[in-house]
Structure 1
Amino acid sequence: MTSPGTASATTRAALLAAVTRNFERSGLDEPAREARLLLKAALGLTDLDLIARADHPVAPEDASRLTGLAARRASGEPLARLTGRREFWSLDFALSPDTLVPRPDTETMVEAALKAFPHADAPLRVLDLGTGSGAILAAILSERPNAFGLGIDLAEGAARQARDNLARFGLTSRACVMVGEWSQALDFPSPTRRFDLVVSNPPYIARSDIAGLDVEVRAHDPMLALDGGEDGLDAYRAIALALPDLLAPGGVAVLELGIGQEADVARLLAAQGLPVDGPARRDLAGVARAIVTHPVSS
């Protein structure tokens, strides 16, 4: 990559070209797009700045900082980790080292949850187990203005980030976040305190498979959010055991799945009296991604 101290790298256009070439050599799938996004985030620019003001000079210290960020991206660090932000369900989420980067695949869960409760004014009680950045919970609450949500995460840093994101979206009055392991922090003395909707994107990677994940995941996502135990199903076992006591009459649970886990998770749910509502919903790549279940009595 051209040194930022040279004349050819002192304008926005020159920097954009240099970063794009660097990303092309590194084999990134969309080098031009990623270069543009990195410049915008790192230099606080807009699309208009890069188009109509492309010849504006860049301060040497800013160019040097951008060069460092580009090198980290070329070595496999996700763009969202460099910028500290990621869009999900058209909402702009801030990230922390304790949270996963929200992925488009997970929007399949949100779609399934909203379809289960199609009335926009439904007064839902929503529980998000392993809330992370709060992406799933915030997306649902943004679409259901009469819903109230509770997010739980074992990582204090993740819970803090989820709380901050919910506040940024103006959802504080309808949401709260707790630190705890799944539902163990909750006490339900009566069915009236249960939830209409329980959602979770739990850790589901088999421990022996983690070393083979893409570097963007294994080196930069929190291990607590990846490691699903020896067979990848530990979290599903805990959630399945808890769901009968968590779901209100007529309640629905939507769980994200890893590749090839549909049958195993369906069996765990069925053993707790929780039949699945048809085949798992598939994401845009055709992967069975969101499994929907409910108590037999609902």
Structure 2
Amino acid sequence: MSLNLASLLHAAALPDSDSPRLDAELLLAHALNKPRSFLMTWPEHQPQPEQIERFQHLLQRRRAGEPVAYLLGRRGFWSLDLEVDSSTLIPRPDTERLVEVALERVVKHPARVLDLGTGTGAVALALAVERPAWEVTGCDSAAPAVALAERNRQRLGIGNATFVLSDWFAGLAQGKAFDLIVSNPPYIAENDPHLVEGDVRFEPATALVSGPDGLDDIRHIAQAAPDHLQPDGWLLLEHGWEQADAVRDLLAARGFAEVQSWQDLAGHQRISGGRWHG
């Protein structure tokens, strides 16, 4: 009996997914190398056996918990279609708030911008697209992540971004100061129970975990950032939804001014930052 698209989707069981129908549609469209709209337009279409086999293999991996973004090798962020792989975190909608706040805080043109722990390059590339006069540098301590971000830059044709290998500030050119430093660093506590749940099981722990309280990397960034900021430059950090008070305290103790937090899409204080008057 031949299987059509409608029957394949009907039989696709993904009980552990928050969006089982959407996941199945995305995976089937990927197996067919077609847009998702093709499934709605041609529900009676009968795929080739190798396409069905590819779809079933993707379903099996998804049932094992592997994130859809890794299975597709793509994730949308801001206005960008980004390549993703298991060397980096999957870009998330909440991180778009970091881009929004950065664009609101810094109106200087041109400006030098640094994205610490760039991963896929999502934040750096979004800022570079929105502000063509900015000179944006993204750094990461993982060579595969730097290579991935560079592939995204080249494929998207973004000329005002550069990606370099650097463990936070350690590998950056001496004497170069920035008008804005942004980061979505690791901020999960090492014993957090969520680390064994959902998509994060498949993401690199080094990009997630930061000491007993999740703040080790944020402490380091807050302490070191002023040495790399221009006078009146901004430092903006994404963090956990319960960490805003602690992050603001760290920034204020280091001497940052105008310290404040901004809410994410769910109303949680997700971004905190301050201005370095020098």
Q: TM-score, normalised by structure 2?
A: 0.94
Question: Is 1:243 matched with 2:221?
Answer: no
Instruction: Report 1:1-298 matches (<5 A).
Output: 7=1, 10-19=3-12, 22-23=13-14, 26-118=15-107, 122-171=109-158, 173-189=159-175, 193-209=176-192, 212-217=195-200, 219-278=201-260, 280-297=261-278
CA spacing shift, 1:240–1:59, aligned 2, 3 Å: same
Distance in 2 (CA, whole Å) between partners of 1:125 and 1:215 is 37
Shift of residue 170 of structure 1? 1.1
Structure 1 gap segments, 5+ residues each = 1-6
Distance in 1 (CA, whole Å) between partners of 2:41 and 2:250 is 57
Distance in 2 (CA, whole Å) between partners of 1:276 and 1:63 is 56
Shift of residue 11 of structure 1? 1.8
Shift of residue 215 of structure 1? 2.9
* Map of 1:3 onto structure 2: none
Pairwise CA RMSD of aligned residues? 1.6
Shift of residue 212 of structure 1? 4.6
Shift of residue 210 of structure 1? 5.3
Identity of aligned residues (%): 42
Distance in 2 (CA, whole Å) between partners of 1:286 and 1:214 is 23
CA spacing shift, 1:118–1:17, aligned 2, 3 Å: farther
2:191 aligned counterpart, secondary structure: helix
1:275 and 1:294 in contact (8 A); partners too: yes
User: Structure 2: which amino acid aligns with 1:41?
Assistant: H
Deviations 1:239-293 (A, max 9, x none): 0121111111221111001121111111221222113433x11111111111121
Structure 2 gap segments, 5+ residues each = none
1:94 and 1:161 in contact (8 A); partners too: yes
CA spacing shift, 1:251–1:167, aligned 2, 3 Å: same
Q: TM-score, normalised by structure 1?
A: 0.88
1:202 and 1:256 in contact (8 A); partners too: yes
Distance in 2 (CA, whole Å) between partners of 1:61 and 1:92 is 27
Shift of residue 188 of structure 1? 3.2
- TM superposition outliers: structure 1 runs of 4+ over 6 Å: none
User: Structure 1: which amino acid aligns with 2:5?
Assistant: R
CA spacing shift, 1:225–1:126, aligned 2, 3 Å: same
